[in-house]
Amino acid sequence: MKIGIIREGKTPPDTRVPLTPKQCAKMIRQHDVEIVIQPSPNRCFKDEEYAAEGLTLSENISTCDVLMGVKEVPIDNLIPNKTYFFFSHTIKKQSYNQKLLQAMVERNISMMDYEVLKDATGKRVIAFGRWAGIVGAHNGLWTYGQRTNAFELPRMTDFYDFAEAKKFYAEKLKLPNLKVVLTGTGRVGNGSAEVLDAMGFRKVKPREFLNKQFNEPIYTQLVCKNYAARKTDNGFNKAEFYAHPERYKSIFAPYAQAANIMINGIYWDNAAPAFFTKEEMRQKNFNMEVIADITCDIAPIASIPSTLYATTIAEPVFGYNPQTEQAETPYQSHTIDMMTIDNLPNELPRDASKNFGAQFINHVLEELLYRPEGRMMRQANICKNGDLTKAFEYLRDYLGVVEV
């Protein structure tokens, strides 16, 4: 099999890679594969690092069987009749990528989405989630520091790696008495908790967070039953909530009234209730000044109604004015500051890429090479042979009419 590592074409360009130079070299040594690297000036691992490991660099990747990237491939760059691996951001019917899915079907592309590569239990086997959580939590605190001038904290992107950031937390970071509410207990949520722990926050139970007074920075980490309840009787059943989220309402309001900062790290279903409404954000008892929305579903179909758009590493924050429901300059007293970067791991690209590539080699590579028609590959294959696959037939209305 001939695999091509493609140059990231989305703007702004992502610097992460799906496989590091050493990981590519390891794959060639251990398996019957050839790997070609499309040159790029933007990668966190330079072309010279790939060449030093004996990898072939070539602008022409048309002879490759499989093409691997990270973010969405621009439509003009799609090569027909190829198998692609990247995060397509189409499985939740994201409107901004509808044309991308249409183009992949038109060009007979076999789309393998990292987000739906799962083991036999249905658990994802490959993700950047931990690193999104780590950077997102850091950026949430950085945003609050910029807003209040209460403490000094560099951007995560200014550190060489996470180890250097943790050294700064231990030696130089002095935080005031803050209250942070963190949602989610998966890779993203636990990555965020990892940062808060390293920063010196004390973790408390949700009830303590709401009812006790503390003279130190604290956070609480919420599970579904803490922020959602059945509409009919205020009960909660996890299996029902996952299967029928439309039957539930938000009970998040007490946390919005108690916290200074929210870090949102859940996987959100389109039918699930939002944490709060725009009307609730206008109330005087809505206390949160900063929202780090790592989930970053764009409103109005979103768990956070003030996530108007995704921000960038270069311009990470906008101010949301609850009265006008519009974006403004951040760090004003009448706005809520929104950190909504949608490629957070790109602030720690070397760490994130190493971890991601290791997951691919450990969980996916042998499936791709030796069981290409097996369960894992089938379930991750969004489109093939000029049409949606059976597992993604639910995208038919989203795909729409494809003009050939």
Give one DSSP letter per residue of 357-371, joined into a string. Answer: HHHHHHHTHHHHHH-
Buried b (16+ CB within 10 A) or exposed e, 167-189: ebbeeebebeebbbbbbbebbbb
Residue 55 lies in a domain: yes
Domain end point (choices 345, 365, 389):
345
Kindly report whether the global pTM for this prediction surpasses the value 0.75: yes
- Helices 129-148, 187-199: crossing angle, 10 deg rounding: 50
Contact present, 306 and 338 (Cβ < 8 Å): yes
Please tell me whether residues 258 and 158 are part of one structural domain: yes
**87 is in which domain, residue-wise?**
2-126+352-399
Please tell me whether residues 35 and 135 are part of one structural domain: no
Please tell me whether residues 41 and 142 are part of one structural domain: no
Contact present, 4 and 38 (Cβ < 8 Å): yes
Backbone angles phi, psi at 256, to 5 degrees: -65, -25
Please tell me whether residues 57 and 152 are part of one structural domain: no
Please tell me whether residues 278 and 362 are part of one structural domain: no
Residue 59 lies in a domain: yes
pLDDT in tens, the chain (404 residues): 999 999 999 988 899 999 999 999 999 999 989 999 999 999 999 999 999 999 999 999 999 999 999 999 999 999 999 999 999 999 989 988 999 999 999 999 999 999 999 999 999 999 999 999 999 999 999 999 999 999 999 999 999 999 999 999 999 999 999 999 999 999 999 999 999 999 999 999 999 999 999 999 999 999 999 999 999 999 999 999 999 999 999 999 999 999 999 999 998 888 999 999 999 999 999 999 999 999 999 999 999 999 999 999 999 999 999 999 999 999 999 999 999 999 999 999 999 999 999 999 999 999 999 999 999 999 999 999 999 999 999 999 999 864 44
Reference 305, options 324, 278, 284, 333; nearest CA is 278
Please tell me whether residues 292 and 270 are part of one structural domain: yes
Contact present, 64 and 35 (Cβ < 8 Å): no
The domain tally of the chain equals 2
Please tell me whether residues 143 and 122 are part of one structural domain: no
Residue 404 lies in a domain: no
What pLDDT score does 36 carry?
Answer: 98
Residue 149 lies in a domain: yes
Residue 43 lies in a domain: yes
Instruction: Check residue 120 and report its DSSP letter.
Output: T
Which run of H or E residues covers position 210?
A: helix 206-211
